[in-house]
Amino acid sequence: MLETYRGTYFHPRTQFITIDTSGNVLESDDVLFPVKKGEDISNISAFFEGLSTYFEAEEDNDIKFTCVHLEDQNKHEYTCDIEFKTFADAAKPTLIIIHDFSDHYKYYQEVAQSRNESVINSQILELKNKYLKEKEDFKNTFIANFSHELRNPLTGVTAFCSVLQKTDMTLEQQDYVEVIKSSADHLKNMIGDILEVSKIEVGKLMLNEELFNFHELIEMLEFTYSVKAKQKSLEFEVDFDKKIPKYIEADKTRIKQILENLIENALKFTTSGKVTFAMHANQKRARKVNIDISIKDTGIGIPADKLEVIFHSFTQLNNSQKFKGTGLGLSIVKGLVELMEGKISVESEEGKGTAFKINMNLKYPINQEQTSLDKKSEIEKKNFLSKEKYSILLAEDSELAQMAVLKILAQEGNFFLDIITNGEDVIESVIHNEYDLILMDIRMPGTHGDELTKMIRSLPVENCKTIPILALTANLYDTDKKRYKKMGMTDIIEKPFDESTLLKKVYKHLK
């Protein structure tokens, strides 16, 4: 009888058993589990104990159980599918079919486990990315806040140094002011470095291309660093290829920053010998010139095993007090060079010197003679003022910044100045007074300066649509600048500012 079933349900790992209504074995082919005739089916496994109710069926039934774990006498485990076939004809015994699908289930279990692990790993990666993003957001927020809080007192120091320099002072006092101003500028540069790295890391640093006299920039660098090298009894040698176009279209500030960082580094770590600054033109194609730049020194050099890490942020190989710095210069240089689609490399031998090499393409105008840069500089805007006195509103909560602006504008004699320290009072003051210009701190208590600007622009008051509103801020990410412009701000004055910067911006926007 079992042979008949085996022909229908052929599978090499399938056992057929027939039992009577009491659960006793009638026949078994013992393919998987050896059982004797007359033995209770539950001896194979306790799984069969609770199934006696199916044995006395009064109609044909086909009951299936999947993924059942069974164990033989040798403790070998099987994962099986089990079928019960009962018949209404009492003469036919109940048929039990046990399919050994252990390999099948093991495979799918591995697949499922692999999928689960993949999902888990994906979730872990997602959590890590979320953590890193939150960490990065926290860092950038901290740096922005930190920078803002430092720049207010720095504005006071820088501005009052400018004011002091215009007073009657002894030579000794003038020297003291120069020291203070120099220290403030150094601190300002270090804060700027931290922000630069932050911008580069999050991809928010944008290049501002302009047409400028490239030869003039190199001449300025040659003069400046020749003097600095002489102070250290070093030689500063410049090898500049005159085939490089005179006028270049690029971000002048960033190119100057790259070259100054590398030359400053070379002078810092060189105690004897010379620093060589070389720049040569390669091919010119499609209004672009490819140039090689190198800054070589005869300084202390870099260990071979450290060449890979010198471009990392906050990395200083020499921690002695002799060579001070933030460890950000080379990180900024690398970020800027790559932003300009250039390449930078370094070669060095400890004790003998270092050479930094840059290759980049620079755009240039075809006609090098007819350029707007050859025009004479404009006469200062203040010579064309239409009023004797201008009314200015300063919205600023920092007392130091207030005093700095007050002193600078008071010296000019052309301004009335109202000062408001709270964002909520700005709108009311604008409604009741007619101002010629507004100086707006972005981080005002209550409502921020950019939001206040948007509110001012929407006021149904004459002049509110056109009045110049200048942002006073240290937040200068490209996204910030776009937001200020979208909110209706006219221009930006970066903190900390000095007398010259403030007056230049104010006079520029007065009618």
Least confident segment among 164-168, 427-431, 433-437, 448-452: 164-168
Confidence grade of residue 373 (pLDDT, cut at 50, 70, 90) = very low
Please say if the pLDDT value at position 201 is more than 70.
no
pLDDT value at residue 376: 39
Q: Give me the DSSP letters along 92-113.
A: SPEEEEEEE-HHHHHHHHHHHH
Answer with the residue of higher pLDDT: 27 or 511.
27
Residue 136 lies in a domain: no
Same domain? 220 vs 360: yes
Answer with the residue of higher pLDDT: 402 or 380.
402
Residues 433-458: what's their mean pLDDT?
A: 91
| Domain, as residue range, for 70 | 2-100
Residue 89 lies in a domain: yes
Output the CA angle 106-110-115, nearest 5 degrees.
145
Cα 99 to Cα 11, 29, 54, distances in angstroms: 8, 13, 19
Answer with the residue of higher pLDDT: 206 or 458.
458
Same domain? 396 vs 437: yes
Cα 9 to Cα 60, 92, 99, 422, 471, distances in angstroms: 18, 18, 10, 88, 85
Dist. CA 326–CA 335, nearest whole Å: 16
pLDDT value at residue 7: 56
pLDDT per position as a tens digit, 31-90: 888 888 888 888 888 788 766 666 565 677 888 888 888 887 778 888 888 888 888 777
Least confident segment among 23-32, 192-201, 357-366, 446-455: 192-201
pLDDT value at residue 209: 84
Same domain? 493 vs 411: yes
Residue 424 lies in a domain: yes
Contact 17, 35 (CB under 8 A): yes
Domain termination site, one of 100, 116, 150: 100
Least confident segment among 50-59, 181-190, 389-398, 409-418: 50-59
Q: What are the tokens at 376?
A: 């004479």
Same domain? 282 vs 389: no
Closest CA to 443 of 208, 147, 189, 173: 147
Residue 188 lies in a domain: no
Domain termination site, one of 372, 400, 415: 372
Please say if the pLDDT value at position 8 is more than 70.
no
SS (H, E, C) 207-248: CCCEEEEHHHHHHHHHHHHHHHHHHCCCEEEEEECCCCCCEE
The CATH number of residue 427's host domain is: 3.40.50.2300
Percent of the chain whose pLDDT exceeds 90: 25
Same domain? 220 vs 294: yes
Same domain? 342 vs 474: no
Tokens 């069969």 correspond to 48
pLDDT value at residue 130: 81
The CATH number of residue 238's host domain is: 3.30.565.10
Residues 378-384: what's their mean pLDDT?
A: 48
Same domain? 365 vs 412: no
User: In this structure, which amino acid lies at residue 266?
Assistant: A
DSSP state of 169: -
Percent of the chain whose pLDDT exceeds 70: 83
pLDDT per position as a tens digit, 244-287: 999 999 988 889 888 988 998 899 889 999 999 999 999 888 88
Same domain? 394 vs 496: yes
pLDDT per position as a tens digit, 78-136: 888 888 888 877 778 888 888 888 888 888 877 877 787 788 778 788 888 887 777 76
Residues 480-496: what's their mean pLDDT?
A: 90
Contact 343, 360 (CB under 8 A): yes
pLDDT per position as a tens digit, 323-371: 444 446 788 888 889 888 999 999 988 888 999 999 999 999 877 664 5
Same domain? 354 vs 291: yes
The CATH number of residue 31's host domain is: 3.30.450.20
pLDDT per position as a tens digit, 136-157: 677 666 666 666 667 777 777 8
Same domain? 12 vs 63: yes
Q: What are the tokens at 213?
A: 């006299």
pLDDT value at residue 326: 46
Domain termination site, one of 331, 350, 372: 372
Tokens 């120069």 correspond to 178
Answer with the residue of higher pLDDT: 193 or 86.
86
Residue 135 lies in a domain: no
Same domain? 366 vs 388: no
Domain count, the chain: 3
Residue 115 lies in a domain: no
Residue 121 lies in a domain: no
Residue 471 lies in a domain: yes
Same domain? 421 vs 504: yes
